[in-house]
Amino acid sequence: MRRAIFPGTFDPFTIGHSSVINRALTFIDEIVIGIGINENKNTYFPTEKREDMIRNLYRNEPRIIVQSYDCLTIDFAKQMNANLIIRGIRTVKDFEYEETIADINRKLTGIETILLFTEPELTCVSSTTVRELLKYGKDISMFIPEGMEI
């Protein structure tokens, strides 16, 4: 069985994230959406709320597991018996960062990273931007998956 983790802060989970998940499910048997806990980040939603929103979104998809973690991503992958890491790439800057992390992860553990490029129409969607819109009371419904309750 091919189990992958899809790590991130997901504050909030966007249509870009769901696009990566949906595409990865075409070649991965099971995906663990790993919500990383990073004390240095000022998040909009508490971890529990993010877990609940994503679990509810995928409640009818048995191949999705949602779990938060507070350790290195490669250690979380080992805990979850995942042999792959899935990452979405929007920009060249994202690619350069992810390539470095993927190389280190592979050297330390042998865990491979699969990079999925964002669909062109979604390159402008980021959690940071959506979070900023939320702060100012703007409607974010076009940037979050249909059926996800904020």
Neighbours of 149 (CB within 10 A): 8
Is position 16 annotated in a ligand binding site? no
Is position 126 annotated in a ligand binding site? yes
Task: For residue 8, give the 3-state DSSP assignment.
Answer: strand
Is position 89 annotated in a ligand binding site? yes
Is position 131 annotated in a ligand binding site? no
- Residue closest to 34 by CA, chosen among 2, 75, 94: 75
What 8-state DSSP symbol labels residue 119?
A: P
Is position 123 annotated in a ligand binding site? yes
- Residue closest to 71 by CA, chosen among 110, 38, 102: 38
Is position 122 annotated in a ligand binding site? yes
Is position 41 annotated in a ligand binding site? yes
Please report which residue ranges of 37-144 form alpha helices under DSSP H. 47-57, 73-79, 92-109, 127-135
Is position 129 annotated in a ligand binding site? no
Is position 20 annotated in a ligand binding site? no
Is position 10 annotated in a ligand binding site? yes
Q: Tell me the chain's radius of gyration from C-alpha atoms.
A: 15
Is position 73 annotated in a ligand binding site? yes
Is position 91 annotated in a ligand binding site? no
Annotated binding-site residue numbers for substrate: 9, 41, 73, 87
Annotated binding-site residue numbers: 9-10, 17, 41, 73, 87-90, 98, 122-128
Annotated binding-site residue numbers for ATP: 9-10, 17, 88-90, 98, 122-128
